[in-house]
Amino acid sequence: MNNVEKILGGSGLRTTRQRRVILELLFKRGVPLSHSEILSMIDDHLDRVTLYRTLETLKKSGIVHQVQGVDGVWRFCAHEQDAEGCPGDHPHFLCLSCGRMFCLTGQKMPRVDVPEGMKVEGKQFVVYGQCPECAAKGARTDDESEEVK
C-alpha cells in the first residue's frame, strides 16, 4: 500500500481510481492547482463533474484544502503530512506579478482565536509579494503598474 492509499484509508475513504489519481497529482506537483489545471494534467479519462465531486469529498475529509488566488480562482493542494502521517494546514505565497501560488511547506498556520459561538468552516493564510523569478526580473505588480491620474 502506498502513501496515498494510507492517507485515503486513514481518513475512512475508499481508494478509488479518481481519488488516487487526483491526490497523487496534488502531492507530486506540490503547488495549488485549479480545476482546469488538474484536468489538463491528468492523462486519465476524468470529466469535470467527477473532478468537482472528488475534490469536494477530499476537502470534506481534510485531505486537501482550497485556497483562492488573486485572480479569484480556487486552487487545491494536498495537506502536508506530519511525522505520524496526519494531514495539516500550511500557508501559501502568491506572486502578484505572475499569479503563481506556492505552498509554504514546513510552516504552521498562524493561530487565530475565534470568538465564542462562531463555527470555523475553513481557513487560509496567503502571503503576497513577488516570487524569486519575478523579483529578479524586476517585474511590477498590478498595483505598481497603474498610472496615477
Residue with cell 496615477: 148
Report long-range pairs for 52-58 (Cβ below 8 Å, ≥24 apart). Answer: 54/16, 54/18, 54/19, 54/22, 55/22, 57/13, 57/19, 58/13, 58/19, 58/22, 58/23
Q: Per the annotation, where are the binding residues for Zn(2+)?
A: 95, 98, 131, 134
Grid coordinates representing 71? Answer: 485572480
Q: Per the annotation, where are the binding residues?
A: 95, 98, 131, 134
Spatial separation of the C-alpha atoms in residues 5 and 72, rounded to whole Å: 32
Strand order across the 33-34 sheet: 33-34, 74-78, 64-68
